[in-house]
Amino acid sequence: MAVRFTVLSSGSTGNGLVVQNGEVKLLIDVGFSAKKMEALMQERDVAASELDAILVTHEHSDHIKGLGALARKYDLPVYANEKTWEELDRQIGEIAESNKRVMETGTMQDFGTLKVESFGISHDAAEPVGYCFYEGEQKLSLATDLGYMSSKVKEKITDSDALILETNHDIEMLRMGNYPWNIKRRILGDSGHLSNDAAGEALGDVLTGKTKSVYMAHLSRDHNMLDLARLTLNNLLEDRGISLESSKLKLKDTYHDRSTRWDSTGEE
């Protein structure tokens, strides 16, 4: 079996990711209303009633807007670490105690044969995490909403078959943009968001011959463009002797308003 996935949406307006194997369907983050999330899943023939659980990366609204409503409607277990739960309890309404599952940062949770490991990231939230999903030797990693790429994060996401990586902003576009300076400083800081340049430098450190696809995620609508992110990553990788044209690696898009096609870490 392979790890199959579709990025339902990625960006400051809302985030969601479906990960599945032959047995289990997981939803990571619920960044829109329950109704909107159901519609995004239907684009990829996933019914919310088929979900086995919801995993949460952190408590910012673009990741949990519809969490409470969706979890209550379908009686779904929700996994998050203790500090994130403290914030969720104040934001998402009542969740059945039996569905409030604590998954502490750095631990592994089994969902049938699909194994999920969380890892800590640097962002201005209570205790934000990324996730790695394993099916046998196959690996999908999710690393968005992080101000910088630490050596520990690099260690976790290295050797992924597929990687969903934040390419939030172009530094110069952000600096020249209309945001107030305090917001620019937050985005540029170590607890903010990853720039195209930082993502490209990190990729040069974590890519192996195993990696087939890298999804450029959480792009700013005001301070980035997919073509610019692609060009920056391509140039930085070429500086490290990694040519996209001569390798099997592909840079792939994510969107604010629609889902990506199903992809897989390996042969299905």
User: What pLDDT score was predicted for residue 22?
Assistant: 87
CB 168 within 8 A of CB 194: yes
Per-residue pLDDT of 179-208, as tens digits, reads 999 999 999 999 999 999 999 999 999 998
Residues 83-100: tens digit of each pLDDT: 999 999 999 999 999 999
117 φ, ψ (degrees, to nearest 5): -120, 130
CATH-assigned architecture of domain 4-264? 4-Layer Sandwich (3.60)
Per-residue pLDDT of the chain (268 residues; tens, 9 = 90+): 799 999 999 999 999 999 999 899 999 999 999 999 999 999 999 999 999 999 999 999 999 999 999 999 999 999 999 999 999 999 999 999 999 999 999 999 999 999 999 999 999 999 999 999 999 999 999 999 999 999 999 999 999 999 999 999 999 999 999 999 999 999 999 999 999 999 999 999 999 889 999 999 999 999 999 999 999 999 999 999 888 876 789 999 999 999 999 999 986 5
Burial of 207 (0-12, 13-18, 19+ CB in 10 A): buried
Edge-first strand order for the sheet with 78-80 is: 100-102, 78-80, 53-55, 25-28, 16-20, 4-9, 263-264
SS (H, E, C) 74-103: HCCCEEECHHHHHHHCCCCCCCCHHHEEEC
Closest to 212 in 3D by CA, of 262, 167, 165, 163:
163
Q: Nearest 5 degrees, angle CA 177-CA 178-CA 182? A: 95
Read off the tokens for 157: 């996401």
Residues β-bridged to residue 130: 119
Given a contact cutoff of 8 angstroms between Cβ atoms, the answer to whether 148 and 199 are in contact is no
Evaluate if pTM is beyond 0.75.
yes
End-to-end CA distance of the chain: 6
CA 107, CA 125: separation in Å to the nearest integer?
A: 19
Read off the DSSP letter of residue 195. B
